[in-house]
Amino acid sequence: MLIQNGLGLLFGYALSKKIAGAAVFKRVFFIPVLFSIVAVGFLWSMYLKNDGLVNSFLNLIGLSSYQRAWLGDEHTALLAVIITNIWRWVGFPSLVFLAAIDSIDQSCLEAAYIDGVSERCLFWRIILPLIVPALTVITVLTVIGSLNVFEQIYIMTDLGGGPDYSTDTIGTLFYRTAFGSVDTGNPEIGIGSAISVVIYVVTLAISMFSMLVGKAKEIRL
């Protein structure tokens, strides 16, 4: 969540500066969001194999010592899944933050420039506080998505969250328990239902907390 939304904020701010090729970058950032998560997971699982695109690229640039089975190593599997997820979703917060920044009254920014405010101070003291509503929405959506991730893990690793449960999530645990798998054996609908309630309660609690924090910041402003 932090990396994805942080990059989204950075990209959105950069695009708001009307950099060269901004129109092209908007499309490039958002195109992965339109892809099916099944297709993204399958393609990246192919790229991350021993003889995949990632290892071939590392070999090409002389970093063959870093080659590995990214999804087969418990120390790198979760990182690979996270990076894939960021690649797919970073375009969404980027465009939301861009729209929020573009909606700021330009007279506020012009007044700040006239007063000699630095770009860094302008961002932290003026722009960021004014886009708190967008930050709140994106935070809540990212939290909900993170707590309910399932398809990507299923496609890129397996229902067991392998290797050695390093990519296991509460979503894959729910599926294994409720519907059964090689690891769990017979389905346990009752326990699966309890896990689904836990997912709902945790998601609701974190979402409400994020919304309350965002509203509190808006009130102070």
Contacts 24+ apart (CB under 8 A), 70-79: 71/45, 71/156, 71/157, 71/163, 72/163, 73/163, 74/163, 74/164, 74/166, 75/166, 77/157, 77/162, 77/163, 77/166, 77/167, 78/166, 78/167
Asked if residues 155 and 37 have their Cβ atoms less than 8 Å apart, the reply is: yes
Handedness of CA 205, 207, 213, 219 (dihedral sign): negative
Domain span at 133: 2-220
Nearest 5 degrees, angle CA 159-CA 164-CA 190?
A: 45
**What is d(CA 85, CA 87) in angstroms, rounded to the nearest whole number?**
5
Residue 22 is predicted with a pLDDT of 82
Handedness of CA 14, 15, 17, 20 (dihedral sign): positive
Domain containing 144 — which CATH number?
1.10.3720.10
pLDDT in tens, the chain (221 residues): 889 999 999 999 999 888 888 888 888 888 999 998 889 999 999 999 888 899 999 999 988 888 888 998 888 999 999 999 999 999 999 999 999 999 988 888 888 888 888 888 988 888 988 898 899 889 888 988 888 888 899 899 888 888 888 898 888 888 888 887 656 567 888 888 999 899 889 888 988 888 888 777 766 65
User: Which has the closest alpha carbon to 97: 175, 7, 187?
Assistant: 7
Residue 184 is predicted with a pLDDT of 55
Asked if residues 138 and 26 have their Cβ atoms less than 8 Å apart, the reply is: no
Residue 175 is predicted with a pLDDT of 87
Based on the structure, what is the number of domains in the chain? 1
Asked if residues 204 and 148 have their Cβ atoms less than 8 Å apart, the reply is: no
pTM for the model: 0.85
Cα→Cα distances 194→137, 167, 199, 201, Å? 28, 21, 9, 11
Length of the chain: 221
- Partner residues linked to 206 by β-bridges: none
Residue 209 is predicted with a pLDDT of 87
